[in-house]
Structure 1
Amino acid sequence: MNDEEKADEIEGRRYPRRPIVGVGVVVVRGDRVLLIRRGKPPRQGQWSLPGGAQELGETVEEAGRREVLEETGLHLERVAPLTVVDLIDRDEAGEVRFHYTLVDLVASSVTGEPQAAGDAADAVWVSFDDAARLPLWNETHRILGMARTRLHEGLFDE
């Protein structure tokens, strides 16, 4: 998809008739979490979790795996649901400008180091403590805290 098609797609998401389902993935390796620097709107230039819109015919898990692969080149091992967040933005008149239902997953990666691609300008591993000090979206901080707690509770224990 070229830049013009991307702009049209983003424009088509304004004032939607129904929510758009997106997926975010907290990818962990040991005590580190994967963050991407967004290369395109929305929140271009900001650090974020890898993710994007779910495509028709795709499960949430498939969407998460595809987005992580597209943005970082990493293949995921275990994937588990974490939380659901609604992001609703209203204009000055109170009309819904954007409405995303974001399904967040937590996952462990299998192989390799992240290589930024697709919508990601950069992709890096950071400790959970360092991520907590970064200027991330408030929901991202909350989601990272939730993931850290679930992992300490043994989310992926056999």
Structure 2
Amino acid sequence: MESGESDETAVTREVTEETGLSVTVGRLVGSVERPAPNGVFLIFDYECQVTSGVLRAGDDASDVAWVDSATLATLPTADGLVQALSDWNCLPRA
């Protein structure tokens, strides 16, 4: 987040920068803590609705895709990601 930025503004900006998509930010679905060099990152995850744009990988990713739950199960993911998505009832549909 940038200084003075609200969660909604930060999510909107980051999603556009990292995926090329414009979104409407919805409800907070959950949060996680991840280790950081000087403490921890507290990450808040929000439900979003795509309003426009074309899905593309940002400059820090080699690929991006919409996937169903069967395909997600075959992909490498960060530790705890699938469990968190399951706990929040946010796994992709079959």
TM-score (norm 2): 0.77
Partner of 2:90: 148
- Pick the structure with greater CA Rg: 1
RMSD of the TM alignment (CA)?
2.5
Once residues 130 and 98 of structure 1 are traced to their aligned partners in structure 2, the CA distance between those partners, rounded to angstroms, is 34
Richer in strand (by share) = 1
Contact kept? 2:56, 2:63, Cα under 8 Å: yes
Say whether 1:130 aligns with 2:67. no
Q: 2:58 aligns with which of 117, 126, 130?
A: 117
Matching of residue 88 in structure 1 with residue 29 in structure 2: no
User: Relative to structure 1, is the Cα distance of residues 56 and 97 closer, same or farther in structure 2, using a 3 angstrom cutoff?
Assistant: closer
Q: State the secondary structure of the residue aligned to 1:138.
A: coil
Provide structure 2 residue ranges, at least 5 long, that are not aligned to the other structure: none
Question: SS where residue 63 of structure 1 aligns?
Answer: helix
CA 1:123–1:81 in structure 2 vs 1: closer, same or farther (change >3 Å)?
Answer: same
Which ranges of structure 1 fall in alignment gaps of 5 or more residues?
Answer: 1-53, 90-95, 153-158
- Is 1:103 matched with 2:50? no
CA distance 1:69–1:147, shift in 2 (3 Å): farther
Q: Percent identity?
A: 28
Alignment of 1:59 with 2:59, yes or no, is no
Give me the whole-angstrom Cα distance separating, in 2, the residues matched to 1:63 and 1:120: 19
Is the 1:106–1:147 contact (alpha carbons within 8 Å) kept by the matching residues of 2?
no
- Aligned 8 A contact 1:88 1:99 in 2: yes
* Deviation readout 1:42-86 (Å, 9 max, x if unpaired): xxxxxxxxxxxx111111121111111001110013422011111
